[in-house]
Amino acid sequence: MPKTAKQSSAESYSEELQLLPADSEDSQLTTLLKAYLTQAEIEQVWEAYRFSDNAHKGQIRRSGEPYITHPVAVACILAQLHLDVPTLLAALLHDVVEDSDISADEISDRFGKQVADLVEGLTKLDKIELQTAVQAQAENVRKMLLAMSQDVRVILVKLADRLHNMQTLEIMKPAKQRRISQETLDIYAPIANRLGLNVIYQELEDLSFKYIYPNRYHVIAKAIKTARGNRKEVISKILESIKSKLADADIEATVEGREKHLFSVYKKMTNKGLKLSQVGDIYGFRVLVKDLPTCYLTLGSLHSLYKPIPGKFKDYIAISKLNGYQSLHTTLFGPFGTPIEVQIRSLSMHNIAQAGVAAHWLYKTTDAHLTRLQQQTHQWLQRLVEIQTESDDSHEFLEHFKVDLFPDEVYVFTPKGNILALPKGSTAVDFAYAVHTDVGNCCVAVKINHELAPLRTEMQNGDHVEIITSALAKPNPAWLNYVVTAKARSHLRHYLKSIKVTESTHLGERMLNTALRALHVEPGQINDSQWHKVMRDYGAKEKDEILADIGLGKRVSLMVAHQLIASTHEHENGAPNTHKTFDKITISGSEGMAVQFAPCCRPIPGDPILGFINKDKGLVIHTHDCVAIGKFKLDPDKWLDVEWDAGDKRLFRVDLRIIVVNERGMLAKLAAGISDAGSNIDNVSAEESDGSQYSVINFTVQVHDRVHLAELIRNLRKIPEVVRINRLKGKYREQKI
């Protein structure tokens, strides 16, 4: 029978591959491809190989090898995960656009748009001029993230690319080795872990550890090798005991030894302050069984063989990890008191544990758990995209991104019984934002296990959490001090920035109007053409930008007012009128972030006050006699005359220092006196006793104004044991205004 053109082509490819050296990367790739691809698919891969080889002709790596060895090695790593043909083509072509004259359009014409999109997502940003290393890293991650959100295969190729670069890092200078390794440890290894790519994750961590702490790496590696030899007999005995016990129970299983990777051992030593000899579970065992029910039968058999250590059992089957990992973990008392860590999982669980999201390509299956894993991964990527669109600062985005890669999780229950996984250390506010952004923005309280608790309470495994919301509630800036999830932090910062700009715009408008009236011009007299001229001069796109800058102290209101009316004065008098009398700006106490009350003097209505424009905080209100006013040399143009709004009934905080006779029940009497005066206690503390009959108690109370404060102090002086009451000012006098 005559051969078809396709058959002849296939044979020629086969002959070409046979001519390659047996130990070459290309030969290894051929072997891997034949394990799961058809001959036609292998032909596509080798077409991309030749195309890449021609594009990189004459280029060599630092090691002196032809550059083509790198993309081939990346393809080999991905072929071990049985990834599809477009991914392998992208791996072979991932540096072609950057390192040669070939365009993305040419790749699209030759290999299809899907491959071209993958290559485009992998293109680095070396050609873009960036100011700092952090910014460059953040922009690289941003682009990779956006490409990942469209197609997760981008990150799979990127991780394989980084793994091979780490495997060949010894040729670099030590400083560059450390920089690349630190980036790998901070970003790429956690991503591999988050996607469930356990093998790649562990190797990236170990290689990073090797270059960041070379001495520690070699010491631990040597010690583990020695320990392995010393414990060989004990390990063999345990292995045989487990196999025998499972055979007696008619459980078909594969039992294998499992040694912890080096960086995992190092982390355990540093986190728990242990010596290497105290890390008992360096060597563990893994039991692979046929299905889920057999996992629990195996657990029972092993617990009857060796006693379990209390508190050392984790069921990741009932509640799987965020990356889809499922397994039973138990630690047993072995012979001679040796702790034994055992992992029990089914074969399908093992596949996902090793390959993570790549298991979708590696094992063609309708496994519901794998489908759920893909959905969770997609949701995670979409959440990261949402975060990066809200972060206009590269450093801030990178911080959010790293936080979201937390390896440790806690699992809590919603009121409907759903399980929510959060990073370890997450608070009730993190939980609220994880449920929905609107729930986070409107939360006012939380019930944990059906009991009210503070919003800053950290979640524990198994907690039942219910968020209480109010339609009128707003996020509190203090939440930033204790939230840990990237979603909560980014939404809070985004909200607070937008609110600050809005409030600063209103404040800036009031300040500008005051300055205009001081120059005998009513705000309504300023027309659009005058505003457009000033906007052009300042390079502002809209009027609100200038007003917000005034409110934030970045521009002086009087200077802007002069520029707005300059043309009017020139036409009327030939020179501006310099005589000015400023109106006072009324302070109601409800202006939010744009107006702040100085903690050094804590002004309240009735106190004579001054306002100072601080470019970081907006308008800061001080009392006339505040120590900070005399201590700091401040620009007089930034001081404003302000007054209280007579109709305001808001509560303000005041610090009181009370000296009392040291008697039982004294604190209760003071609290009752404060309550009787219609005031709230915001904080209370007692100074350490000096052994005398008197004690000093500091209160932070809430009052409406000076009249209310005077009434409160009179109420407290009626208590016979009260010796002296002082209103504290200057408690924070070292703090800059």
Task: Return the active site residues.
Answer: 98-99
**Max CA pair span of the chain:** 118
Decide: 319 and 419 in contact? Cβ < 8 Å: yes
Indicate the SS3 state at residue 328: strand
Question: Per the structure block, which two tokens stand in for 211?
Answer: 């270059």
Of 581, 587, 657, 656, the C-alpha closest to 621 is: 587
E-strand spans in 174-327?
253-259, 283-289, 314-315
E-strand spans in 272-406?
283-289, 314-315, 328-333, 339-346
Of 299, 352, 301, 350, the C-alpha closest to 322 is: 352
Q: d(Cα 553, Cα 622) in Å, to the nearest integer?
A: 16
**Pairing mode, if any, of strands 339-346 and 283-289?**
parallel
Q: d(Cα 469, Cα 462) in Å, to the nearest integer?
A: 22
Residue 551 Cα to chain centre, angstroms: 31
Q: d(Cα 714, Cα 709) in Å, to the nearest integer?
A: 9
Q: What's the first-to-final CA gap in the chain, in angstroms?
A: 93
**Pairing mode, if any, of strands 652-661 and 722-727?**
antiparallel
**Pairing mode, if any, of strands 609-614 and 680-686?**
unpaired
Indicate the SS3 state at residue 623: strand
Q: d(Cα 220, Cα 229) in Å, to the nearest integer?
A: 14
Decide: 604 and 709 in contact? Cβ < 8 Å: yes
Contacts of 650 (CB under 8 A, 6+ apart): 588, 589, 590, 704
Question: Per the structure block, which two tokens stand in for 263?
Answer: 């960086």
Residue 19 Cα to chain centre, angstroms: 50
Of 498, 404, 358, the C-alpha closest to 141 is: 404
For the beta carbon of residue 31, count every other beta carbon within 10 angstroms.
11
Q: d(Cα 381, Cα 388) in Å, to the nearest integer?
A: 11
Of 732, 730, 737, the C-alpha closest to 627 is: 730
For the beta carbon of residue 28, count every other beta carbon within 10 angstroms.
18
Using the 8-state DSSP alphabet, how is residue 66 labeled?
B
Question: Per the structure block, which two tokens stand in for 732?
Answer: 């924070």
Question: Per the structure block, which two tokens stand in for 210?
Answer: 């090797």
The DSSP result for 446-469, as a single string, is EEETTEEE-TTPBP-TT-BEEEEE
